């Protein structure tokens, strides 16, 4: 069954523009409520979290209306990280979890993600069924069965306490000065609190959301602000989250950035030494650097690659029984602890390694030498299909032949934005730039 509304991470778009309108949120709420409403059950429960975008209020109210119209009782969590919604969906025995967020996108965008009762994001098939219900005539709940809605005041505290339990017992963060950049997003309260309670001296950045400054010159997609804070305060490490806190980037004491590949390499190596890396396998996407694959191979470990999107990483992990995976972009999935990427808990695992080993962050963030990699994006208008143009295909084929045996090319449409992403890896930096720029120029000409 095909999907038009749902992308690689829920439904996403520009706020107050199709499909991110109050009308569509109401329909999605009603459809999801009908899909998850178990027959014969007396209690139907939904948890809804959101990040700090201004449009979150509008979508939260519309979703609540749709869900309660189907007889679902709605528990409103307020601003909280995406992984907190996954955790609380399962912890509070909810039928559905909903997160209102466009993750790392600017404040003008928003999105709606659904979690099943097990706390995991929905499969493609489940999303397709919900999408089919959006335009269907659904039987509403009877007047006496309409659901209720209420705020849950201690939701964030529940998540914070759980996050602390993932930090190894017997270790503390005393003596560590940590910059935490919350991107003016969903973790602006939780992340600094957890770090401080574990003993760290905390320097918060991006913790003053106003509805419009989420991811604005801060967070995991703009690490310069945190890097400047690390250097200015003489911090030992920096942790940069994105708007919904399911991604993380780590900064060493000089402000240098370690992406998700380096973090996964560190954790995979440590977990393998401890005998806790299931199947001796790390799951990552086709975007992960060849250097990561070489690092793992040298230690007798496997890299299982998936399509781009943390949901596909999680699906492969669950299918194979693996417990560590993620994306170069900073989604680190540890199914021993969470059902989705969790930037805060991944950051805690890095800090635990610093505390355990006594090493500086700079000694931990460079686990392997990355093969030169270049990624460029081309924005296009809705309705266009630039990758189908004959001229673009010809340029792609020619450059694929040029780089064959020396590297690789990966070209794809973004699942969350109207972008064509052109990525290549090659030891020859000159050839790498020439190949990427040539393809980008062809795509730009087509759009």
Instruction: Give the up-direction half-sphere exposure of residue 405: CA atoms within 13 A in the CB hemisphere.
Output: 2
What is the Cα 414 distance to its own chain's centre?
14
Catalytic residue, from 103, 220, 288, 329: name it.
103
Which residues partner with 98 through β-bridges? 48, 114
Helices (H), 97-203: 124-134, 155-165, 190-197
CB under 8 Å to 272, separation ≥6 — which residues? Answer: 280, 299, 301
- Tell me if residue 9 falls in helix, strand or coil: coil
Distance CA(2)–CA(8), nearest Å, equals 13
CB of 292 closer than 8 Å to CB of 368? yes
CA-to-CA dists, residue 101 to 154, 230, 268, angstroms: 21, 28, 29
Element (H, E) at 242: none
- Residue 56, CA distances (Å) to 20, 41, 348, 387 in order: 10, 30, 28, 34
Residue whose C-alpha is closest to residue 80's, from 181, 172, 185? 185
Residue in 283, 219, 288 with CA at minimum distance from that of residue 251: 219
CA dist., res. 235 & res. 339, Å (int): 31
Q: Are 176 and 354 in contact (CB under 8 A)?
A: yes
Q: Compute the distance between CA of residue 363 and CA of residue 229 in angstroms, rounded to an integer.
A: 20
DSSP secondary structure string for all residues of 378-404: EE--TT--GGG-HHHHHHHHHHHHHHT
Q: How far apart are CA 442 and CA 389, in angstroms?
A: 10
Name the H helices within 275-403. Answer: 290-298, 310-320, 343-357, 390-403
Q: What is the secondary structure of 184-210 as a DSSP string?
A: TSTTTTHHHHHHHHTT-EEEEES----
Question: Which residue is associated with the tokens 């805060």?
Answer: 344
Q: Is there a catalytic annotation at residue 362?
A: no
How many angstroms separate the first and last alpha carbons of the chain?
Answer: 29
Helix (H, G, I), strand (E, B) or coil at 331: coil
Q: Which residues are catalytic?
A: 103
């Amino acid at each position: 069954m095909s999907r038009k509304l749902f992308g690689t991470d829920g439904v996403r778009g520009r706020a107050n523009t199709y499909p991110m309108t109050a009308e569509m949120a109401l329909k999605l709420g009603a459809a999801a409520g009908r899909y998850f409403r178990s027959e014969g059950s007396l209690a139907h429960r939904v948890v809804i979290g959101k990040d700090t975008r201004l449009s979150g209020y509008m979508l939260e109210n519309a979703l609540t209306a749709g869900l309660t119209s189907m007889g679902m009782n709605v528990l409103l969590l307020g601003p909280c990280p995406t992984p907190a919604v996954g955790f609380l969906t399962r912890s509070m025995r909810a039928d559905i979890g909903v997160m209102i967020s466009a993750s790392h996108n600017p404040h003008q965008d928003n999105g709606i993600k659904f979690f099943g009762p097990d706390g995991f994001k929905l499969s493609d098939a489940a999303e397709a069924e919900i999408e089919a219900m959006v335009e269907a005539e659904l039987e509403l709940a009877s007047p006496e069965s309409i659901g209720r809605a209420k705020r849950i005041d201690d939701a964030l505290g529940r998540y914070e306490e759980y996050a602390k339990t993932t930090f190894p017992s017997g270790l503390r963060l005393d003596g560590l000065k940590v910059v935490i950049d919350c991107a003016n997003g969903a973790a602006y309260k939780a992340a600094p609190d957890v770090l401080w309670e574990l003993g760290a001296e905390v320097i918060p950045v991006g913790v003053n959301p106003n509805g419009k400054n989420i991811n604005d010159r801060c967070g995991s997609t703009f690490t310069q602000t945190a890097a400047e804070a690390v250097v200015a305060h003489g911090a030992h490490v920096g942790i940069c989250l994105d708007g919904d806190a399911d991604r993380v980037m780590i900064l060493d004491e000089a402000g240098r950035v370690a992406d998700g590949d380096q973090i996964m390499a560190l954790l995979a190596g440590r977990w393998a030494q401890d005998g806790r890396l299931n199947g001796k396998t790390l799951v990552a996407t086709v975007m992960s650097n060849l250097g990561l694959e070489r690092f793992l191979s040298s230690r007798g470990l496997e890299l299982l690659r998936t399509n781009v999107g943390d949901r596909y990483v999680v699906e492969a992990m669950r299918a194979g029984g693996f417990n560590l995976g993620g994306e170069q972009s900073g989604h680190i999935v540890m199914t021993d602890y969470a059902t989705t990427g969790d930037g805060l808990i991944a950051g805690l695992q890095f800090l635990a390694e610093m505390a355990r080993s006594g090493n500086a962050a700079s000694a931990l963030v460079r686990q392997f030498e990355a093969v030169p990699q270049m990624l460029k994006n081309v924005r296009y208008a809705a309705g266009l299909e630039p990758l189908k143009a004959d001229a673009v295909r010809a340029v792609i084929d020619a450059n694929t032949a040029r780089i064959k045996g020396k590297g690789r090319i990966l070209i794809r449409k973004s699942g969350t934005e109207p972008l064509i992403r052109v990525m290549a890896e090659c030891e020859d930096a000159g050839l790498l730039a020439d190949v990427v720029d040539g393809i980008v120029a062809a795509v730009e000409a087509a759009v």
